[in-house]
């Protein structure tokens, strides 16, 4: 049976998932070797897991995000975070240095309906992460290297920093 690959999104702009979709040729080659069982950006198929490799884009900004990432971790043999949002909190982490309630009042007509945490935090602040792929967005060749390495059971050959210096 082919190993399963899942892709999840928390608070993010989808840019890193689009990098994965941009890897058309490589994905076609990979498609014969993996079973992509959860990737809402590209397919309506949503399998409950377990997953051999989960890629997670986005930061944790709501209580629901925190609950989801714990469930994703529990369902994943390997968990890799992709992009600055997932590895460092992203641009939305600017809230960490401000009054999030004031932002809510200024931006929303009915702030009482908006539930959010006071901070935006990386996935690693909530669960164990097997590898962090940095960048905003991530580099497509590095992404393919990370996926290929995990499926082959070896360490990814990717530098500690890539597009962004975090
Ligand atoms: Fe978008 Fe950058 Fe976050 Fe990726 S890291 S989801 S490109 S904001």
Kindly tell me if the per-residue pLDDT of 63 is higher than 60.
Answer: yes
Distance 110 CA to ligand 1 centre (A): 27
- Our answer on whether the CB atom of 57 is closer than 6 Å to any ligand 1 atom is yes
Residue 57 β-bridge partners? 9, 82
Structure confidence by residue, pLDDT tens digits, 42-52: 877 788 889 99
Q: Which domains does the chain have, with CATH numbers?
A: 4-91+120-152 (3.40.50.700)
Distance 111 CA to ligand 1 centre (A): 25
Residue 166's pLDDT band, with cuts at 50, 70 and 90, is: very low
Stated as kind and residue range, the H or E segment containing 123 is none
Nearest CA to ligand 1 atom 8: 13
CA distance 84 to 106: 26
Residue 164's pLDDT band, with cuts at 50, 70 and 90, is: low
Structure confidence by residue, pLDDT tens digits, 7-29: 999 999 999 999 999 887 887 78
Q: Which atom of ligand 1 is nearest to the CA of 14?
A: 6
Phi/psi-derived region of residue 89, left when phi > 0, alpha when psi is between -120 and 50, beta in every other case: left
Tell me the CA distances in angstroms from 60 to 120, 132, 165, one per residue in order.
6, 15, 21
């Amino acid at each position: 049976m082919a190993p399963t690959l899942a892709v999840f999104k928390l608070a993010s702009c989808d840019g890193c998932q689009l990098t994965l979709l941009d890897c058309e040729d490589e994905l076609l080659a990979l498609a014969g070797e993996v079973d992509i069982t959860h990737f809402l950006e590209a397919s309506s198929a949503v399998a409950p897991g377990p997953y051999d490799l989960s890629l997670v884009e986005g930061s944790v900004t709501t209580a629901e995000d925190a609950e989801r990432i714990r469930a994703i971790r529990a369902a994943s043999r390997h968990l890799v975070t992709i992009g600055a949002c997932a590895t460092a909190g992203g641009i939305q982490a600017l809230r960490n240095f401000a009054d999030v309630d004031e932002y809510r009042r200024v931006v929303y007509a009915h702030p009482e309906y908006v539930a959010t945490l006071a901070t935006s935090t990386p996935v690693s602040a909530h669960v164990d992460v097997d590898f962090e792929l940095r960048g905003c967005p991530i580099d497509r060749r590095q992404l393919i290297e990370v996926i290929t390495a995990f499926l082959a059971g070896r360490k990814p050959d990717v530098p500690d920093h890539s597009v962004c210096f975090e």
